[in-house]
């Protein structure tokens, strides 16, 4: 479980910079992916190659048949999935932490408030890009899982690859449990992708509304500043 400590701390820190829908996605990642993958699935898949047996003693036949049956292990596939999705979130977290430190060091003035507003806009854009990349990765991995494993782990694999002397039968361990995990992770992936799509629409609409309000406030501030300068110039001429 030690290898998951870094990802857990990253997602805990990312929660402070995420909206409610983003926190729901984090909950799915932590509870239904990382926690289960690091506990139950690790014990289920750690000895899958050792327990993959073929009805032949030909050297090398078992290895090539296992490679044909599992081009990539389901466990490593899901770990790679989590790491790939976590990468843009880590980038966003590092950028947000850097901007928060810069904001804390700025003195309170009109210029610093404008810079803070610009930094907040960049954070919103980066977060939306993060959500878009997450949706693409979720959908891509769902399609890849369907093509690689379908929805069932067969108990028996016929194999005729060299150096097997003939078509041999190979048998995988605990196929029913692995099939259940395939359904489970596919369902979590669908739910995660759906929540990310809803989050994208919600964040985009909220950002658009905030931009409209900020634009109105900036327009009013510019008009007030122009009126103030005109008053000052009129007093000087008098």
Provide DSSP, 12-56: HHHGGGS-HHHHHHHHHHIIIIIIHIIIIIHHHHTTTTTT-EES-
More confident residue, 38 or 136: 136
Is the pLDDT assigned to residue 224 strictly greater than 80? Answer: no
- Which pLDDT does position 174 carry in this prediction? 87
What is the number of residues in the chain? 238
Q: For 116-130, what is each residue's pLDDT tens digit?
A: 667 777 778 888 888
Contacts of 175 (CB under 8 A, 6+ apart): 152, 153, 154, 155
How many distinct structural domains can be found in the chain? 1
- pLDDT, mean of residues 25-44: 82
- pLDDT, mean of residues 31-52: 82
* pTM of the complete model: 0.74
Peptide bond into 91 cis (omega under 30): no
Instruction: Please give the Cα distance from 53 to 58 (Å, whole number).
Output: 12
Q: What is the dihedral of CA 175, 178, 179, 182, to 10 degrees?
A: -160
Closest CA to 130 of 80, 94, 102: 94
CATH of the domain at 199: 1.20.1440.80
- Which pLDDT does position 140 carry in this prediction? 93
Is residue 75 within 8 A of residue 174, CB to CB? The reply is no
Domain assignment of residue 181, given as a range:
2-237
Closest CA to 42 of 54, 33, 30: 33
Closest CA to 84 of 133, 128, 120: 133
Closest CA to 92 of 132, 139, 38: 132
Is the pLDDT assigned to residue 54 strictly greater than 60? Answer: yes
3-state helix vs strand vs coil in the chain, percent to 5? 80, 5, 20
Share of the chain above pLDDT 70, in %: 72
Share of the chain above pLDDT 90, in %: 10
Instruction: Please give the Cα distance from 61 to 189 (Å, whole number).
Output: 35
Closest CA to 52 of 71, 70, 78, 37: 70
């Amino acid at each position: 479980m030690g290898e998951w400590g870094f990802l857990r701390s990253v997602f805990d820190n990312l929660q402070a910079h995420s909206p409610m829908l983003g926190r729901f996605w984090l909950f799915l990642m932590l509870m239904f992916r990382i926690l289960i993958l690091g506990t139950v699935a690790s014990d289920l898949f750690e000895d899958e190659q050792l327990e993959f047996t073929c009805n032949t003693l030909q050297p090398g036949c078992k290895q090539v048949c296992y490679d044909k049956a599992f081009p990539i292990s389901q466990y490593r596939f899901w770990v790679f999935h989590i790491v790939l999705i976590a990468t843009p979130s880590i980038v966003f977290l590092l950028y947000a932490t850097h901007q928060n430190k810069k904001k804390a060091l700025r003195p309170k003035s009109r210029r610093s408030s404008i810079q803070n507003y610009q930094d907040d806009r960049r954070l919103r854009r980066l977060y939306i890009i993060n959500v878009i990349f997450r949706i693409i990765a979720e959908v891509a991995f769902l399609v890849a899982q369907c093509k690689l494993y379908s929805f069932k782990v067969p108990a028996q694999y016929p194999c005729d690859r060299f150096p097997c002397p003939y078509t041999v039968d190979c048998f995988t361990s605990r196929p029913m449990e692995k099939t259940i995990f395939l359904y489970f992770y596919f369902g979590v992936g669908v739910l995660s992708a759906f929540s990310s799509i809803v989050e994208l629409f919600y964040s985009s609409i909220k950002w658009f509304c905030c931009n409209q309000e900020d634009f109105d406030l900036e327009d009013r501030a510019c008009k007030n500043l122009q009126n103030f300068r005109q008053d000052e110039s009129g007093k000087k001429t008098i």
